[in-house]
Amino acid sequence: MHRKTITELAEALHQKECSCLELTRYFLDRINRYNPALNAFITITEKEALEAAQEADRAFQQGTAKKLTGIPIAHKDLFCTKGVKTSCASKMLDNFIAPYDATVVSKLNHAGTISLGKTNMDEFAMGASNENSFYGPVKNPWDLTRVPGGSSGGSAAAVAAHLIPAATGTDTGGSIRQPAALTNTTGIKPTYGRVSRFGIIAFASSLDQAGLLTQTAEDAALLLTEMAGFDSYDSTTVEEAAPDFTKTLNNSIHGLKIGLPQECFPEHLDPKIKTVIDQALRQLESQGAIIQEIKLPHVMMGIPAYYIIAPAECSSNLARYDGIRYGYRCKGPVDLQDLYERSRAEAFGDEVKHRILIGTYVLSSGYYDAYYIQAQKIRRLIKNDFVKAFQSVDAILTPTSPTTAFKLGSKSKDRVNMYTSDIFTVPVNLAGLPSISIPAGFVDQLPVGLQLIGNYFDESRILNVAHRFQQATDWHRQIPKNFE
């Protein structure tokens, strides 16, 4: 059963080939068997999942089952989930039980999906390797000595090892797409404002966006259709109903113009990765797509701009963790100042502290104009580059990551090297565009991801291209040998 996609599992449930309870138990057994090696889950909600499965079976008996009723999923551990620990992989929130559901969680619950647990991540979504977790690093199912990418590494590893058919994630600078590329999964980041951020513990509010990690683009389209849409609790969501993203999946891509930004294919790009991308391009061309070079002149300025804007927003968002209202509190504080200082010092990890310090610095008097304002100007230039490019092309294609999965610990002491892991993904967040990473092949038995970027609110287009590519290839069907 674990080899089946969500589409196939839904069909099996509706054809009564298995019950929701049987399916839930099957995936819970896989999680309990394989998670100790991967560390992909922080919390496994077995009791709640089995109760939900019984309720789903009753819906089938009563004829009220929906398309996704009974489908097991998992949530990244920064989506508030009522009655369940929501830790953000931080000591700061190790004791926090969410009192309500995030909008994404409630929408997927309403669609009939069953959550089996909360997945591991980089602390407060800050990282590109999933090594910055209070609960320890997540391992890549393709090679347990390597990282799965971050910050949604737990979700990616769980889907790649087929412990779960799909999982939610968040993407601030590539935190869905980069782990998708490194684990051979499909990861989509919608347009900023397409999916509600209500109930998602914030890192950088103008960049964070909820999305998905799945086996296929078709599965992503199914789930995104349920997740997307206006939310009165989130003023940044768009006031229009989301389309059914599955309706255009099978459209022909003949005549579709796909832009290749010269800046995203530098001379130092690993030639083996470039070969994989070239083969993917030929596959798309064979279906009638037109490939043409474009220019995004400011795109390589994305990393320095991002690592000013994101820490600035993080320093503001994380100010609420003061040891008083909720979360971790130090023992025996001598006064209020000591309470603040020790609670934060003891509960935040090194990467989070590093980003808070950078963010506070660039927002401080005398440095705000020199750093933060300049970064926002670069952000606008990057957005303008994309707007101009989409006047001549329908989609943009790049590698997702400049490397395959790297060894655990190999970049943890070199932050600049670590940050460049997101060099092709960060500009998309700065511009607020939709993007998807799909499996494109392997280099030295490690996955390579292909990134497709769409125009604003044109998720249907990139899902269509991704689906047509996956119909013609089987890279997304490959499973790590120890998890078959």
421 labelled catalytic: no
Catalytic residue among 106, 151, 155, 437: 151
Q: Which residues contact 410 (CB under 8 A, 6 or more apart)?
A: none
Six-digit token pair at 161? Answer: 């090892």
Catalytic residue among 76, 107, 139, 411: 76
Catalytic residue among 87, 133, 175, 421: 175
- Is residue 439 within 8 Å of 475, Cβ to Cβ? yes
Tell me which H or E stretch contains 437.
strand 435-443
- Read off φ and ψ for residue 296, nearest 5 degrees: -125, 80
β-bridge mates for residue 449, sequence order? 439
Nearest to 250 by CA among 452, 467, 449: 467
Measured distance CA(175)–CA(415) in Å, rounded:
16
Cα 86 to the center of its chain, rounded Å: 17
Q: What is the CA radius of gyration of the chain?
A: 21
Six-digit token pair at 84? Answer: 């369940």
107 labelled catalytic: no
151 labelled catalytic: yes
Nearest to 186 by CA among 444, 10, 5: 5
Nearest to 40 by CA among 76, 69, 83: 76
Six-digit token pair at 117? Answer: 């647990």
Measured distance CA(368)–CA(163) in Å, rounded:
46
Catalytic residues: 76, 151, 175
